[in-house]
């Protein structure tokens, strides 16, 4: 049986191997993705993002449990950073989710960023397709701990959850462009701490001020308390899950908005694929015939500037 057939039957090892092949840029991986792609588009993709230590993995663990209780199968892609120096990584998001390790309805895969900047791994788009084609109902993508700018998750997720904690900054932080704009659901985690009320009202003021389509989705703000108070924690998680479902229903009842979101997703994936198809081989060729070395020399010695030397090389490569 071929790899893609095994994946379509839900085989875990085949799926994890294909994800590995995508990460490693292994020959044949793209062709396998092409074979499974027609079977994708069924899963609901949830993105969970927020600053380091905000509690993304713990919330992910709770959300997995809540969806399992509803009889849904769950795939998780947990992204952690690679070292910019050695390329190594410690992928530790699983620590909080290990109680699901032996559940055949849950597939958790850790991904390292491998130099990608948007808070994800370059393999994330294709890895979502792998989990989707395996038949997972829900796919959760947990980003690295993000700052203000890592918004790439919006291009992959059907529902983006932004996890905030009280006491991380004043009102101006909430006004900033970027990560605050991409949330479909706000979660105030560790809400037992001082400042939760303040943060809650700041987010709501921000939402009131934003130019909104009156029929549009207004992101709800949900609070989750400490995991030590288990009943509270579980209740908070259940509220998040019902908001996820509501958000999904909003989109399935709003064809135009859904279409817009899907278009954005498709365009982004095409752009990312073009980068891989054009830029990477181009760079490899420039490196192979030493052109790149000459270019670096030209730019360093100020004989040329980065734009001119890049344009010249691009013209040559593209043959125009």
Partner 1 sequence: MTIRKIRVLVAKPGLDGHDRGAKVIAQAFRDAGFEVIYTGLRQTPESIVATAEQEDVDCIAMSMLSGSHLTLMPKVTRLLKEKEMEDILVIGGGVIPSEDIPLLKEAGIAEIFTPGTPTSLCVEYVKNNVTEKA
Spatial contact of 28 and 121, defined as CB atoms under 8 Å apart: no
The CA distance from 105 to 71, in Å, is 9
Closer to partner 1 by CB, 103 or 238: give it.
Answer: 103
81-100: contacts with partner 1 (CB under 8 A) = 82-83, 86-92, 94-95, 98
Q: Which is nearer to partner 1, 23 or 184 (CB)?
A: 23
234 near partner 1, judged by CB under 8 A: no
Kindly indicate which of the ranges 103-111, 146-154, 212-220, 257-265 contains the residues binding partner 1, using the contact rule CB under 8 A.
103-111
Beta strands (DSSP E) in 136-291 are 138-145, 159-164, 185-188, 221-223
Greatest Cα pair distance in the chain:
67
Interface with partner 1 by CB under 8 A: which range of 15-23, 244-252, 256-264, 304-312? Answer: 15-23
Contact positions with partner 1 (CB under 8 A) in 17-46: 17, 19-20, 23-27
Q: Is 63 in the site for partner 1 (CB under 8 A)?
A: no
The DSSP output letter for 218 is: P
Q: Does residue 110 belong to the site contacting partner 1 (CB under 8 A)? A: yes
Does position 13 interact with partner 1 (CB under 8 A)? The reply is yes
DSSP per residue, 150-207: --GGGGT-SEEEEEE-TTS--HHHHHSSSGGGS-SEEEE-STTSTTHHHHHHHHHHHH
Shortest Cβ distance from residue 89 to partner 1 (Å)? Answer: 5
Q: Hey, which residues between 112 and 151 contact partner 1 (CB under 8 A)?
A: 112, 114
Residue recorded with tokens 């959760």: 140
236 is written with which tokens? 């908070």
Phi, psi of 237 (to 5 degrees): -60, -45
Give least dist CB 139 to partner 1, A.
Answer: 14
Among 67, 107, 186, 251, binds partner 1 (CB under 8 A): 107
* Residue 13 C-beta: closest distance to partner 1, Å: 6
User: Could you tell me the smallest distance in angstroms from the CB atom of residue 22 to partner 1?
Assistant: 11
Report the residue number, 135 or 195, with the smaller CB distance to partner 1.
135
- In whole angstroms, how far apart are CA 299 and each of 77, 307, 310, 312? 40, 9, 10, 13
Least distance between partner 1 and beta carbon 23 (Å) = 7
Among the listed residues 71, 84, 102, 301, the single contact to partner 1 using CB under 8 A: 102
Q: Kindly determine how many residues on this chain lie close enough to bind partner 1 according to the rule CB under 8 A.
A: 31
**Min. distance of Cβ 19 from partner 1 in angstroms?**
7
User: Whole-angstrom Cα distance, residue 191 to residue 200?
Assistant: 10
Closest among 57, 232, 269 to 157, alpha carbons compared: 269
For 39, counting Cβ atoms within 10 Å of its Cβ (0-12 exposed, 13-18 middle, 19+ buried), the class is: middle
Calpha distance 132→39 (Å, rounded): 8
Distance separating alpha carbons of residues 167 and 111, to the nearest angstrom: 30
Residues forming contacts to partner 1 in the complex (CB under 8 A) are 12-13, 16-17, 19-20, 23-27, 82-83, 86-92, 94-95, 98, 101-102, 107-110, 112, 114
């Amino acid at each position: 049986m071929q790899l893609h057939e095994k994946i379509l039957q839900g085989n875990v090892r085949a799926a994890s191997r294909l994800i590995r092949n995508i990460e490693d840029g292994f020959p044949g991986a793209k062709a396998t993705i092409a074979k499974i792609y027609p079977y994708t588009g069924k899963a609901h993709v949830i993105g969970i993002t927020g600053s380091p230590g905000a509690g993304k993995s713990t919330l992910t663990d709770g959300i997995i449990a809540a969806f399992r209780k509803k009889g849904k199968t769950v795939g998780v892609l947990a992204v952690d950073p690679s070292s910019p120096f050695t390329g190594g990584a410690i992928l530790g998001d699983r620590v909080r989710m290990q109680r699901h390790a032996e559940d055949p309805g849950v597939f958790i895969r850790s991904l390292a960023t491998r130099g990608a900047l948007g808070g994800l791994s370059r393999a994330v788009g294709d890895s979502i397709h792998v989990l989707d084609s395996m038949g997972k109902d829900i796919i959760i993508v947990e980003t690295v701990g993000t700052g203000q700018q890592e918004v790439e998750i919006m291009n992959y997720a059907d529902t983006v959850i932004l996890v905030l904690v009280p006491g991380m900054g004043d009102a101006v932080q909430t006004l900033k462009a970027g990560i605050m704009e991409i949330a479909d659901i706000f979660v105030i985690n560790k809400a037992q701490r001082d400042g939760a009320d303040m943060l809650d009202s700041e987010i709501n003021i921000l939402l009131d001020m934003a130019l909104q389509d009156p029929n549009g989705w207004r992101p709800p703000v949900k609070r989750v308390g400490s995991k030590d108070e288990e009943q509270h924690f579980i209740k908070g998680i259940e509220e998040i899950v019902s908001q996820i479902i509501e958000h999904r229903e909003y989109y399935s009842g709003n064809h135009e908005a859904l279409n817009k979101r899907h278009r954005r997703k498709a365009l982004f994936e095409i752009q990312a694929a073009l980068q891989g198809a054009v830029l990477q081989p181009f760079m490899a060729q420039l490196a192979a015939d030493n052109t790149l070395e000459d270019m670096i020399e030209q730019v360093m010695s100020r004989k040329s500037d980065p734009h001119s030397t890049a344009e010249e090389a691009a013209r040559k490569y593209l043959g125009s």
